[in-house]
Amino acid sequence: NFVDIFESSGGGCLLLVCSNDHSIKILETDGKCVCTYTQPWCVNCAAVSPDGSLLAVGGDDREVHLLDPRSKGVVAKLAGHYDFTFSMSFHPTLPMLATGNQDETCRIWDLRHTHTSTH
């Protein structure tokens, strides 16, 4: 469903792959799987924060989940959309995440205050 390429903390390139099989996979460019995350719903999109400290996951759920990439634990759930999320992007320098949803809205989240979106 979704693929992105990002720079790892070691400076190499990694692929972020999301799927209807409920998974998010981090792959090396040769296809070797580095890590797999599983959700209870189909995953439509995901994004890694610029500093690598967060993995945002959206899919067939009304909430966007922020995960700790190392522990795989949920750090926060962003609630406010009324349907499924299909796009997202972290700001390159500010602690902000934009999400696009099937409910025909785009929300901007200040990740220092995750209880509600700013727009």
The predicted-structure confidence for 59-89, as pLDDT tens digits, reads as follows 999 999 999 999 999 999 999 999 999 999 9
Length of the chain: 119
SS3 110: strand
pLDDT tier at 117 (50, 70, 90 boundaries)? confident
- Kindly state the helix (H) or strand (E) to which residue 31 belongs, with its residue range: none
Q: Do 88 and 46 contact (CB within 8 A), yes or no? A: yes
Q: For residues 63 and 19, give the distance between their C-alpha atoms in angstroms, rounded to a whole number.
A: 17
- d(CA 54, CA 97) in angstroms, rounded, equals 11
Q: Is the pLDDT of residue 32 over 90?
A: yes
How remote is the C-alpha of 72 from its chain's centroid?
12
CA 35 to chain centre: 14
Look at residue 69 in the predicted model and tell me its pLDDT. 92
